[in-house]
Homo-oligomer: A and B are copies of this chain.
Amino acid sequence: MGRRRSDAITLRDVARLAGVSIATASKAINNRDEVAAATRARVLRAAAELSFRPNVLAQGLVAGRTRAIGLLTDELDGRFAIPILLGAENALSHQEMSVLLCDTRGDAIRRNHYIRTLLARQVDGFIIVGDSNDVHLSLTADIPVPVVYVYCRSTNPADLCLVSDDEGGALLAVEHLIALRRKHIAHITGPQSWRAARDRAAATCAVLHDHGLMLAGGQPLHGEWSQHWGRHATRLLMATTPEVDAIFCGNDQIASGAAQALADLGRRVPDDVAIVGYDNWEIFAADSKPPLTTVDLNLQQVGETAVRHLLAALDGTPASGVFRQPCRLVIRESTA
């Protein structure tokens, strides 16, 4: 089991083994000058031999050591969290700051556990990544460091939330298809229980209406976020509404499935039917056949923005409210 109190190796032990005072040992280990090279070597050797590990102590505050932020994510497969992590790290590359990612599995108990753990380990702020779906109960009151919510809304309007501009993304996709003179645009997307799916579907209908068009098939096709649903829905769609000449899909997996189904049906992409995906999950979208035009969420920028807000809050100028991260259309062969 855990080391008992007596096992803990303290600076005193190191100093004794090296034959120096505690003060000198401290200086040697912390790379301060005022200590001869030979002495330093002796101390370091003793520390290594004893597997000495400093007991943190004031380090965090007194000596202004390396700082860190915690990134808590509900999302299991890392598809969204990882790019956000990369963006956050990029934004911190000039600072001497680290990002620690923890997986909460959408479990409040686990999340609180990690928050305690990370606070005890002196993180200077949190980025909390939701599933873009339901609202997060505000944790800010319980956390003595700045918090930024990403891909979720907080129950407290004074919190800072960064969300994706779903309406804007749908607008980009649909207007792109309209610019290609497509008249019969369908929408296949994820479960209606997802807010993102609902918002994009509503925006899609609204944009079409603004251009005097109707959604092909009459209404959005809600299903799973999977290739399988993409294939299935596309077959249904083409059977009932064969005049469809474009499909806007709720994510790249659905889009990939749609492309496969169209190939099976002998429809050419993009000549007969154009396809637009969503998320720009590179490994999927760029490697599909044909490569997919898709809406990029700018996740790295989201990570960078979150960090910038966190740093601003640490400097005493916190922001609040809901910020929408604009999306970006990546054009590939599926509409080219």
Binding site for B on A (CB under 8 A): 1-3, 5, 8, 47-48, 51-62, 64-68, 76-79, 81-82, 85-86, 89, 96, 98-103, 113-114, 116-122, 141, 144-145, 226-228, 231, 253, 257, 260, 263-264, 283, 287-289, 314-315
A65 CB to nearest B CB, Å: 6
Q: Is the CB of A121 within 8 A of B48?
A: no
Would you give the shortest CB distance from A285 to chain B, in whole angstroms? 11
Contacts of A59 in B (CB 8 A): 56, 120
- What copy number does this chain have within its complex? 2
Closest to A259 in B: B260
Q: Which residues of B contact A227 (CB under 8 A)?
A: 287-289
Note all chain B residues with C-beta closer than 8 A to A263: 263-264
Chain B residues whose C-beta falls within 8 Å of the C-beta of A66 in the assembled complex: 113, 116-117, 120
Chain B residues closer than 8 Å to A86, beta-carbon distance: 76, 103
Give 19 pairs: A residue, B residue, CB < 8 Å, sorted on A. A3-B61, A3-B314, A5-B61, A8-B61, A52-B144, A53-B144, A53-B145, A55-B57, A55-B60, A55-B61, A57-B57, A68-B117, A77-B82, A85-B103, A86-B103, A96-B113, A98-B102, A100-B118, A101-B103
